[in-house]
Amino acid sequence: MPKILLLGAPGVGKGTHSEKIIKDFGIPAIATGDILRDNLKRETELGMKAKAFMESGGLVPDDLVIALVKDRLSQDDTKNGYLLDGFPRTIAQAEELDAYLAEEGSGLDYVLYLNAPKEELVRRIAGRRVCPACKATFRASDVPDGICKVCGAQVIIRKDDEAATALKRIEVYNEQTAPLIDYYKNKGILIEIDAAHDIDAVQAKVDKALGV
């Protein structure tokens, strides 16, 4: 089973496409943003350390995130592959991941880079609604009554999806995460996918790239 990385700016649709990929392959998704948000909600030590960085739209320091991912990757359910969403986000994180995988004699199998113009990212983030209870994500137009279609709770706008913070996150992505595109291109494992189209069209390209 493959080790897959979904790379791309906030709002490009990583979470959406992750859902089908993990079903197709029967692998877990490791989404550092979700894990950090969960820690924030439970007010753990990690959550409290990450809080200010997350709320400002900046990145949580590398050492905290790397420790959290290594811990997650040491769990049994990752033995047959996994999908990384939102990690690595800096060159330092990517190098640590490579070193960790090299130690176990493996490496990433696919890096899918989802690409869309900034205006489209802003539009998608502004229209994103999430369910605080079951974590499902929707387009605002799909939940006009504001009720989660999966569990019936009231959907909300993620705090860091509000306009000013969302723009900051895109800026941080361009500065600190976009260099990973060349990093993985140079390793010959980057597959670029034009993600400016609707979900089904992008999904078809993702399936093709992964041989589904």
Percent of the chain as helix, strand, coil, to the nearest 5: 55, 15, 30
Quick one: which segment of 29-37, 97-105, 112-120, 179-187 binds ligand AMP (CB under 6 A)?
29-37
Residue nearer to ligand AMP on the CB measure, 60 or 202: 60
Min separation Cβ 169 and ligand AMP, Å: 5
Q: Which of 50, 88, 55 is nearest to 69 (CA)?
A: 88
- CA 191 from chain center: how many Å? 16
E strand or H helix at 112: strand 110-115
Give helix 45-56 / helix 32-41 axis angle, nearest 10°: 110
- Tell me: does residue 36 bind ligand AMP (CB under 6 A): yes
Which listed residue (4, 33, 111, 195) binds ligand AMP by CB under 6 A?
A: 33
Min separation Cβ 192 and ligand AMP, Å: 20
Min separation Cβ 95 and ligand AMP, Å: 13
Quick one: which segment of 72-80, 82-90, 124-132, 137-145 binds ligand AMP (CB under 6 A)?
82-90
Residue nearer to ligand AMP on the CB measure, 9 or 27: 9
Residues with a catalytic annotation lie at 14, 89, 128, 158, 169
Range 90-119, binding ligand AMP (CB under 6 A): 93
Range 163-192, binding ligand AMP (CB under 6 A): 169
Which listed residue (5, 6, 27, 65) binds ligand AMP by CB under 6 A?
A: 65
- Tell me: does residue 11 bind ligand AMP (CB under 6 A): no
Cβ atoms 122, 166 nearer than 8 A: yes
Which listed residue (8, 39, 86, 111) binds ligand AMP by CB under 6 A?
A: 86
Task: Give 132-190 as a DSSP string.
Answer: TTT--EEEGGG-TT-B-TTT-PBPB--GGGSHHHHHHHHHHIIIIITHHHHHHHHTT-E
Strand partners, 6: 85, 112
Size of the site for ligand AMP (CB under 6 A): 17
Cβ atoms 128, 11 nearer than 8 A: yes
What's the start-to-end Cα distance of the chain, in Å?
A: 12
- Tell me: does residue 13 bind ligand AMP (CB under 6 A): no
By CB under 6 A, name the binding residues for ligand AMP: 10, 32-33, 36, 53-54, 57-60, 65, 86-87, 89, 93, 160, 169
